[in-house]
Every structure is written in structure tokens, then in C-alpha cells.
Amino acid sequence: MTETATPTDIESAVLEACRRAKLASRALATATTTVKNDALHAMADALVAHAPRIVEANALDLERGRANDMSPGLLDRLALDADRIAKIAEALRYVATLPDPVGEIRRGSTLPNGLRLVQKSVPMGVVGMIYEARPNVTVDAAGLALKSGNAAVLRGGSAAASSNEVIVAVLQEALEGVGLPKDAVQSIDAYGREGARVLMNARGLVDVLVPRGGRSLIQAVVRESTVPAIETGEGNCHVYLDASAPLERAVPIVLNSKTHRVGVCNAAETLLVHRDAAPSLLPAVLGALHEAGVTLHVDEAAAGFAPDGVPTVAATEDDWATEYLSLDLAVRVVTDMDEAIQHIGRYSTGHTEAIVTSDIDAAQSFVARIDSAAVMVNASTRFTDGGEFGLGAEIGISTQKLHARGPMGLGELTTTTWVVYGDGHIRP
Amino acid sequence: MTETATPTDIESAVLEACRRAKLASRALATATTTVKNDALHAMADALVAHAPRIVEANALDLERGRANDMSPGLLDRLALDADRIAKIAEALRYVATLPDPVGEIRRGSTLPNGLRLVQKSVPMGVVGMIYEARPNVTVDAAGLALKSGNAAVLRGGSAAASSNEVIVAVLQEALEGVGLPKDAVQSIDAYGREGARVLMNARGLVDVLVPRGGRSLIQAVVRESTVPAIETGEGNCHVYLDASAPLERAVPIVLNSKTHRVGVCNAAETLLVHRDAAPSLLPAVLGALHEAGVTLHVDEAAAGFAPDGVPTVAATEDDWATEYLSLDLAVRVVTDMDEAIQHIGRYSTGHTEAIVTSDIDAAQSFVARIDSAAVMVNASTRFTDGGEFGLGAEIGISTQKLHARGPMGLGELTTTTWVVYGDGHIRP
């Protein structure tokens, strides 16, 4: 597709790609687990075999990135070398070891009239993935879609376009090598933003969209897409220290939730402390956070508990609503659990909230009243993770309520079909 | 709201209603099954007690309907009398007998590090229902939402506005009588189409939209809504008579699928017949359909098998794509099952397809390759139904793949939360 392609050209090209994906998805839907696992290994082998070609294409992306003043962090996420490619290939082999999510019987019964009813998991069909400048996601998404019997139409962002083009070509060759259609994995990077827009509106051809990336990307997909999308990854997570929270649990859980890894959606962004516990807990908690390099955005009450030598900044309304993804933490003293829950209800993105408490009734009440994908009782928010939950590969962490909520494994890339067996049954 | 209300007035009023619903939903989420069942009985009692008031309001709607030349069928669906109100109340009492879908443990395990993981069902929060001129749906929707712990914001169409206003007031009074917030059930009928538009875009306040009605209503919701919506009810269903289909099964299954009830989404609209079976099956099948009053829209090959005295009309491309909802059937002879599956893949709405066959491999292949919510083997398409499937109350029949597919019971109005219990766990 040249630079002069019109929106109409792009629309037909992308819709045609989706149509071919739909056709390919029919072959994937009936592929056995063995064939799919063979394909995953073939894909891994091919990536390793073609590593030099991929690295060469990646160099073009990096060059363009540097010319466009891409940040060092983004350049690092974009960069591929033989080692990284080997790791990406290993991840495909790992997906091959996971149970096949297709064909699982979810429910079933024999009805009073003798009809036998089975609800079984089946692939979605065509999964659209929209993500940013990370070529490893191209492989990851292709592998997860394949294992769950879905065709994938990938839109990876222009910054990684050269890498993605070669990677997808290599994966397609591997698919054909095991007798699967190459259209099962396609990239529409060549069609730019207009192509992404067409993908988001290819209702009927694309069965689900999974955006993976930052807030603005995900919000754009949710807003513009008529294809059902799964909202992932925004995490304004809270830790609440209840009146009965013991210091020896409070400090490590707050520290771990905030500082274990800061750029991730399950990191804590706000600390709420019951006012009865503030005098005994806050000085130590704030001191430990400061030592760990955390900037403390505190309300007036919390400021009063900062030990000497621990600087704080006054929190504004914005702080409560911000997912810092950095060594910053908002801190507020609350009157009681009610106020904590109100605060969370107002500012949370519905990802993960934690309570630290010794009181069984307080724990039960918190769990019952929090409306988020995950609630931690006396554990770090960092545990909300597909790998930690034992779900195998993680597609993302859904913060919406429809279809999937919390860490999504391969099973969340399937839907179900009811199969009904009769012997001539008609409705009386 | 007066006729001169501006879009801004309407927007604030509807968003305010949604906000109140969100607050009320927190009370419903923690209400016990006993309280919710008490509320359902109180609602039923109140409807019966206030039947005269409801009938009076309904008379106004009927009068307006007649003045607007509403069809007799629609007038009938709109009309309420004491008997119908008693039946509607009975349906609420039935919902009280169903298992509570909230608090069910879906999955759980103890992780290697000792964390205890539980995935449990929780209410969605606020359910938006958009439907047409049927006051019984107002009660039904309110009852199903309540039992599943959700607040309901109802938009029932202007034709039933007077009836709905009184019904909702009666239900709210009953809710308050058992100590639940009246905002748990609200109508936004007073805000017209603009109000519906605001509801469809109240993302963050409304958790899911369930449109119930005809194609145009559902398509409008899917197109215009940023709140996740569940697409329901479109059924261009197919019956495929395989080469081995026995006549004694083929005739009753085709007849039942087409004529048992014609205005419903699980009625058959197209019959596909394997060409090897056409000579032995089609004359009898077409004869029986004709006798039942069915107009036959046939392709050329099928026309050749119509017995003397059985009139047919030539099918056009439109016929394959039409959900007649009437005593009409499109009929096509196909070369083989591949062609049948291609036809279904092209024209089906993904609701229900049936195969009639004696061949176990043919049945298995059909089931594996059809991409619809339900597949019937030697049974009428009419069985795709929440009641028939034993799901208790039916919210609708989803023809989409996300979250719910096929008949939706109360469980489909819930989502899940992961609860994780530790004793000070942090990520190493």
C-alpha cells in the first residue's frame, strides 16, 4: 500500500484481510491440539532461523525511532536481537504446553424430554489485536490466538512496522509448513491509522478486539470500535490499611504494592489509612516509602504523620485520579472503611484493591463492597496477574465486566456453543 | 420533563438517574437472597393491588396507540387487564424461586505460595434495558435485574410510557417497603429518544445494555452505544437435511421449526436439502409445509420437486438473508454439506442451525463447523430457549460471542471478582 492510498483503498484492503482471516479461522476452529502445537513449535523454529532477517528489519524501525526522538525506554522495548528473539520463540513453545481451551465442556445435562444438552467452548473466530511498538507482542498475540483456535489480525503501530512485517511473513511461512492457512495471522500495519479504524468497525468479520497498550490507545478503541472490545490494563489500584492492620503486614504490603515494579497496572497508586491506625502505622509506612524513593502526595491529615526528614507534597484532586506508573503515591487518611470504599468507588479504575486488616468482619465487608476485578486481603496488589493466578499465558487484565474480568487466560479468547442432540425431537 | 426540555437538561437528568442507580446497586449487591426474594413477592403483591391504576394508565397508552394507527398486534401486546397483570406478577414470584446467581464460586485454588484464590459471581451493577411498547417487559426486566443484584434503568418506548410510569412507581414503592432503595428500578421513558441516547453512552455508570426488541432497535443500540451491549434475538435459522436424513424425522422437524410459532427468533427461515436426498424428501416436505400454509420461496432445483398443486415462488438473494417471522420459508438444494455450511456461514445471524441426519460423522462435522450460538442434531430449532434449556428465566438469546451466547439466564447478568486471601503475602 503506497502513501497515496485512499481511505476507500484502505477500507477494501483491510476488510479483505478480515474476510480472509474469517475463512482461515474456520480451518483453525477444527484444527486438533496436536496440529496447533506443531504450528507453535514451527513458528518458534522459524523465528530463530530467521533471526538475522528480523534483526535487520528491526534496525530500520530503531533508526526511524531515533530520528523521531523516541524515548530510550520505548527504543528499548522496540529493540530485538538474537537473544530476545530466542526468548520470544521460547514463549511460543510455552504456549504449546498449555491445555487447549477449545472443546472444553462447560455445562451439560439431559433435559426431561431426553434432549442431550452440551455447552462447549469454541474459538471466537477472528481476534483483532491493536497494540503499540512492541514486536514481541506480535508473536505473543499470534501464538495465543492460534492456540485458542482464532485467526489474528494484528495492528502493531507504525513504529515497529518493519519488524512486524518480517515477523508476520516468517510466522505465515511456518503456518503453511504445518498445513494451516497463512491468513490465520495477518498484519495490517501497512494501512496506518485508517486501517486500524476499519478494523475497529469490521463488525461481523472481527469477533473481538483486544487492545494492549496505554490508556489513550485503549480508550480510543473503546470509543471508536463497533466490534466488541475488551478493555484492559488501566490500574489506579488502592491499598487500604484498616483500623486493625498490623504494622508488620502493612509496611511490606504497601512497599511491595508500590515499589516492586512501578510501570505496571497492578502497582498501587493510592494508600488509604483508617484514622485510628494512622498514628501507629503512617510514620513507619511513610518512612519506608521515602527510603524506597517514593514521592508522597499526601492529604493534610497524612502530612501530619510524616516523620522528620520525610518530605511530602500536598495531594490535589488530580492525584486521587492518577495512575502514576512511577515512584509516586497518593496518601489519604479516611474516617472509616465507608469513606475508604467511597473513595475507591469514585477514583478506582476497577482493577485491584487491597485491604490490610486483622479483623475478619472488616475483610468480609471490604470484599463484599468493592467493585473491582480483584480484591486482595492481606496481600500485595501485584498478585493480580495471569501467571501468578496460574492461568498460563496472560492476554491482558480486563477492567471491564463483560465476558472477562481480571487476568485473562486462553479460555477468555473462546466463546461457547450449545449443542443439542435429539432423535427427532419437536416442540409440543 | 416537559416537551421543551433541552438535550442538556435531558442529559443531566438521565445521568443523574444512572448515578442514583449506581448507588442503589451497591445496596443490591450485598442484599441477601431472602431480601431480594421478599422484594420480588412485594413487587408482585403491589402490582396486583394496584392493578386498577395500572389498567387506567394503560388505557391512555392504548388510546394514543389507536390514534396513531398502531397495528392490532402491537395494540394487543401493549394492552393490560387484571388477568394479564396477575400473570406478570406470577412471573415475578417464579423468579423468586430461582437460585440466586450471585455469590457462586466459579473457580478457586490455593496457589503454590499459599495464596487462596476464589473467583465468585457478583452483580454487574447497573443494567440498562431498552425495549419496545411491552409493559410486561418492564416488570420482567426489573425482576431479573433485582434477582441478579443489579439496579435497572429502563427505557420502554413512548408507546407504553403511561403504563410504565405507573408500573415503575408501584415497583419502587414495593422496594422501599422491604428496605431496598427505590432507585434500584427507574424508568427514563420521560426523556424520549434523547434520553435513550444518553443511556447508551453512560459508560462507567451503566455496566451493560440489554436491548430487547426488533432488529432495528438492537442494531441501533449496537451502533450507537459505548456502554457494552449484548446483541440478542435476530434469528435467520436454518434446517439442513443431510443426504441420510430419514423422511420420518425430516418432515416433523422442518414443520415444527417453521410453523410451531412463526414470530419468534428460533423459528426456521431457510431449508437446505442435500441434492441426493432431495428427490426422496422434498416432495413430502414441501407438501406438508404447503398444507400448513407456508409460502415456499424456492431455488430452481427445489422448484422441480414441488408436488402438483403445491405453488412456489422463485427465491431471490433477499430471501436467503431474510428473517421472515411469518409463514414463509426459503428452500434451496445444495450439492453437499460443504455448500450448506457455506450458505449458512454467509446468511445466518448465528442463532440456531439444525441438521437432520442418520450419519454420525455428518452430525459431528456439522456441529464442528457451524459457527452459531446453538446447533441442533435431529431436533427442532425451536428448542433454543432458556426455558427449554432449564435456565429458568430467560433474559434474551444472545447472538454475539462476547460474555453470553445463546439463551441467557440470570447468571449472564453477573460478572466475577477474584478474591485473594493472603497472610501478608508480597511478590518476591
Q: How many domains is chain B partitioned into structurally?
A: 2
Predicted complex ipTM: 0.92
Within an 8 Å CB–CB cutoff, is residue A387 touching chain B? no
* Residue A176 scores a pLDDT above 90: yes
User: Which of A369, A403, A407 comes nearest B402 by C-beta?
Assistant: A403
**Position A216 confidence tier, pLDDT thresholds 50, 70, 90:** confident
User: In this structure, are B17 and B76 located in the same domain?
Assistant: yes
Q: Give the pLDDT confidence score for residue B54 in this predicted structure.
A: 98
Residue A40 exposure: Cα atoms within 13 Å on the Cβ side: 29
- Which residues in chain A touch residue B389, judged by CB atoms under 8 angstroms apart? 111, 117, 418
Provide the phi-psi class of A310: left if phi over 0, else alpha when psi is between -120 and 50, else beta: beta
User: In this structure, are A228 and A266 located in the same domain?
Assistant: no
User: In this structure, are B35 and B176 located in the same domain?
Assistant: yes
Quote the Cα angle for A311-A302-A267, to 5°.
80
- A375 and B417: CB-CB below 8 Å? yes
User: Which residue, among A166, A159, A165, A164, has the nearest Cα to A132 in the 3D structure?
Assistant: A159
User: Which of B208, B249, B374 comes nearest A424 by C-beta?
Assistant: B249
Q: How far is A187 from chain B (nearest CA, A)?
A: 23
Question: Average pLDDT in the A390-400 region?
Answer: 87
User: In this structure, are A211 and A296 located in the same domain?
Assistant: no
Q: Give the pLDDT confidence score for residue A299 in this predicted structure.
A: 98
- B115 and A383: CB-CB below 8 Å? yes
- B424 and A253: CB-CB below 8 Å? yes
User: In this structure, are B201 and B247 located in the same domain?
Assistant: no
Question: Average pLDDT in the B223-237 region?
Answer: 88
Mutation choice for A interface testing from B117, B223, B418, B421 by most A CBs within 10 A: B418
- Which residues in chain B touch residue A230, judged by CB atoms under 8 angstroms apart? 402
In a domain, residue A403? The reply is no
Question: B341 to chain A: nearest residue by CA?
Answer: A26
User: In this structure, are B176 and B27 located in the same domain?
Assistant: yes
The pLDDT tens digits for B242-272 are: 999 999 999 999 999 999 999 899 999 999 9
Q: Give the pLDDT confidence score for residue A91 in this predicted structure.
A: 94
* Residue A408 scores a pLDDT above 70: yes
* Residue A288 scores a pLDDT above 60: yes
**Position B3 confidence tier, pLDDT thresholds 50, 70, 90:** low
The CATH number of the domain where B169 resides is what? Answer: 3.40.605.10
The pLDDT tens digits for B20-59 are: 999 999 999 999 999 999 999 999 999 999 999 999 999 9
Letter for the amino acid at A424?
Answer: G
Q: How far is A417 from chain B (nearest CA, A)?
A: 5
User: In this structure, are A204 and A255 located in the same domain?
Assistant: no
- Which residues in chain A touch residue B374, judged by CB atoms under 8 angstroms apart? 417-420
Within an 8 Å CB–CB cutoff, is residue B424 touching chain A? yes
Residue B268's contacts (CB-CB under 8 Å, 6 or more residues apart) are: B237, B238, B239, B254, B257, B258, B329, B354, B381
Q: How far is A62 from chain B (nearest CA, A)?
A: 34
Strands (E), B74-198: 105-110, 116-123, 126-131, 151-155, 185-187
For the beta sheet containing A295-298, the strands, ordered from the edge strand earlier in sequence to the opposite edge, are A313-314, A295-298, A328-334, A268-274, A237-241, A352-356, A374-379, B414-425, B116-123, B105-110
The pLDDT tens digits for A301-313 are: 999 999 999 999 9
In a domain, residue B394? The reply is no
**Position B1 confidence tier, pLDDT thresholds 50, 70, 90:** very low
Within an 8 Å CB–CB cutoff, is residue B116 touching chain A? no
- Which residues in chain A touch residue B342, judged by CB atoms under 8 angstroms apart? none
User: In this structure, are B201 and B304 located in the same domain?
Assistant: no
- B369 and A30: CB-CB below 8 Å? yes
User: Which of A252, A369, A389 comes nearest B117 by C-beta?
Assistant: A389
- B222 and A223: CB-CB below 8 Å? no
- Which residues in chain A touch residue B367, judged by CB atoms under 8 angstroms apart? 417, 419
Contact A122, A415 (CB under 8 A): yes
Q: Give the pLDDT confidence score for residue B280 in this predicted structure.
A: 98
- Which residues in chain B touch residue A415, judged by CB atoms under 8 angstroms apart? 401-402, 405
- Which residues in chain B touch residue A219, judged by CB atoms under 8 angstroms apart? none
Within an 8 Å CB–CB cutoff, is residue B417 touching chain A? yes
- Hey, is B260 helix, strand or coil? coil
User: In this structure, are B119 and B250 located in the same domain?
Assistant: no
Within an 8 Å CB–CB cutoff, is residue B401 touching chain A? yes
Q: How far is A133 from chain B (nearest CA, A)?
A: 27
- Which residues in chain B touch residue A223, judged by CB atoms under 8 angstroms apart? 226
* Residue A2 scores a pLDDT above 70: no
Q: How far is B244 from chain A (nearest CA, A)?
A: 14
In a domain, residue B401? The reply is no
User: In this structure, are A102 and A119 located in the same domain?
Assistant: yes
In a domain, residue B403? The reply is no
Q: For chain A, positions 228-257, list CB contacts with chain B under 8 A.
A: 228, 230, 248-249, 252-253, 255-256
- Which residues in chain B touch residue A389, judged by CB atoms under 8 angstroms apart? 111, 117, 418
User: In this structure, are B212 and B244 located in the same domain?
Assistant: no
Mutation choice for A interface testing from B113, B337, B358, B420 by most A CBs within 10 A: B420
Q: For the ranges A87-96, B156-165, B169-178, B357-366, which has the lowest average pLDDT?
A: B156-165
User: Which residue, among B117, B397, B25, B156, has the nearest Cα to A401 in the 3D structure?
Assistant: B25
User: In this structure, are A81 and A108 located in the same domain?
Assistant: yes
In a domain, residue B146? The reply is yes
Q: For chain B, positions 340-369, list CB contacts with chain A under 8 A.
A: 345, 367-369
A329: containing domain = 237-388
Contact A40, A146 (CB under 8 A): yes
Task: Report the range out of A281-290, A383-392, A398-407 with the highest average pLDDT.
Answer: A281-290
Q: How far is B413 from chain A (nearest CA, A)?
A: 9
Within an 8 Å CB–CB cutoff, is residue B384 touching chain A? yes
Q: Give the pLDDT confidence score for residue A132 in this predicted structure.
A: 83
In a domain, residue A225? The reply is yes
* Residue A72 scores a pLDDT above 60: yes
Q: How far is A276 from chain B (nearest CA, A)?
A: 20
Q: For chain A, positions 176-195, list CB contacts with chain B under 8 A.
A: none
The pLDDT tens digits for A352-382 are: 999 999 999 999 999 999 999 999 999 999 9
User: Which of A119, A249, A403 comes nearest B403 by C-beta?
Assistant: A403
pTM of the model: 0.92
Question: Average pLDDT in the A315-333 region?
Answer: 97
In a domain, residue B331? The reply is yes
- Which residues in chain B touch residue A374, judged by CB atoms under 8 angstroms apart? 417-420
- B401 and A125: CB-CB below 8 Å? yes
Question: B117 to chain A: nearest residue by CA?
Answer: A389
In a domain, residue B142? The reply is yes
Within an 8 Å CB–CB cutoff, is residue B285 touching chain A? no
The pLDDT tens digits for B181-199 are: 999 999 999 999 999 999 9
Mutation choice for B interface testing from A415, A416, A423 by most B CBs within 10 A: A415
The CATH number of the domain where B335 resides is what? Answer: 3.40.309.10
Q: Give the pLDDT confidence score for residue B296 in this predicted structure.
A: 98
Question: A27 to chain B: nearest residue by CA?
Answer: B369
